[in-house]
Amino acid sequence: METGCPLCSRAREGVFICENLAAVAFYDGYPVSRGHSLVVPRRHVADLFCLPAEEQQALWALLPMVKEALDRVHRPAGYNLGVNVGEAAGQTIAHVHVHVIPRYHGDVPDPRGGVRWVIPDRANYWSAR
């Protein structure tokens, strides 16, 4: 745990959607949709690719449990999953975290392309044919 890291602080609070020995899941403090959640390792590591395989597996193992909880409470129509690795990719907190973003019919005018919209000029490939 790192002093001053907001995700380490949240991991210490003990208010989780679910958890295992190496990772925890909780609601995002700045959600982009109802139920937006984060899955984070308990250990403070900035880069997903620097986590050993067993800690990466611990993160992914929580995803079905988070989905089940969000389905029960929020009933979304779909999900986006995202990981920002490095400043150039938009990572603003130097602690690995997987975004679980519930999606709802009508939450945006046209959801096609999903995560491709991180680079807007390249997202709409279906019209470029």
Q: For the chain, how many residues are written? A: 129
pLDDT, tens only, 50-102: 999 999 999 999 999 999 999 999 999 999 999 999 999 999 999 999 999 99
What is the number of structural domains in the chain? 1
The catalytic residue positions are 97
Token pair in block for residue 105? 């019919």
d(C-alpha 121, C-alpha 74), whole Å: 32
- Residues above pLDDT 70, as percent of the chain: 98
Q: Which of 34-38, 43-47, 95-99, 118-122 is predicted least confidently?
A: 118-122
Q: What is the pLDDT of residue 91?
A: 97
Contacts of 96 (CB under 8 A, 6+ apart): 40, 41, 45, 46, 47, 48, 51, 59, 83
25 within a domain of the structure (yes/no): yes
1 within a domain of the structure (yes/no): no
The boundaries of the domain holding residue 86 are: 6-127
The CATH number of whichever domain residue 82 belongs to comes to 3.30.428.10
110 within a domain of the structure (yes/no): yes
Contacts of 10 (CB under 8 A, 6+ apart): 24, 26, 29, 38, 40
Q: What is the pLDDT of residue 129?
A: 63
93 within a domain of the structure (yes/no): yes
Token pair in block for residue 45? 């590591």
